[in-house]
């Protein structure tokens, strides 16, 4: 069970890493799939924001997942679980406030599957206690 969870976390992490790299290297084209587009005189600022914010989000998620899976450290999985949990919660709020849009279940399913996988793995994989530094 641990091996399967570890492999799945690593694969999900690779997916997130590629998402982040897509935003870093080709933000305009990648953003279209998210319903975003930098426009007008602020286009360069928009591209910079897409690169920075989405690479940060997906990069941190991917890094914590892949390092946590590699080191079998369940505590590192709490960071991406919190990020994806926040994302799916805010999407649900947006769905209630703004209504549905075409394709809305896909990103929510991806984020929710991350949360379920990460929380399940957090319960199964070992936790590493932080050792107190004594002087």
Residue 96 counted as domain residue: yes
Domain tally for the chain? 1
- CB half-sphere exposure, 121, CA atoms < 13 A: 32
Residue 133 counted as domain residue: no
Q: Which domain holds residue 90?
A: 2-124
Q: What tens digit of pLDDT does each residue of 27-63 get?
A: 999 999 998 887 766 788 889 999 999 999 999 999 9
Q: Tokens at residue 78, please?
A: 């709490």
Residue 58 counted as domain residue: yes
Q: Is the pTM of this model over 0.85?
A: yes
Would you say 20 and 72 are in contact if contact means Cβ atoms under 8 Å apart? no
Residue 107 counted as domain residue: yes
- Rg of the chain on CA atoms, in Å: 17
Q: Tokens at residue 120, please?
A: 């399940």
Residue 130 counted as domain residue: no
3-state secondary structure 40-61: HHHHHHHHHHHHHHHHHHHHHH
Per-residue confidence (pLDDT) for residue 37, from 0 to 100: 84
């Amino acid at each position: 069970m641990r091996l399967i969870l570890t492999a799945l976390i690593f694969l999900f992490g690779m997916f997130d890493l590629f998402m982040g790299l897509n935003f870093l290297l080709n933000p305009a084209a990648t953003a279209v799939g998210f319903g975003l587009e930098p426009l007008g005189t602020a286009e360069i600022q928009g591209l910079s924001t897409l690169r920075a914010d989405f690479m940060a989000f997906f990069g941190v998620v991917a890094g914590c997942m892949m390092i946590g899976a590699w080191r079998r450290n369940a505590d590192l999985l709490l960071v991406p679980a919190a990020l994806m949990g926040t994302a799916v919660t805010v999407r649900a709020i947006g769905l209630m406030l703004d209504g549905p849009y075409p394709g809305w279940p896909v990103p929510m399913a991806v984020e929710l599957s991350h949360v379920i996988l990460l929380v399940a793995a957090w319960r199964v994989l070992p936790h590493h206690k932080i050792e107190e530094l004594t002087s």
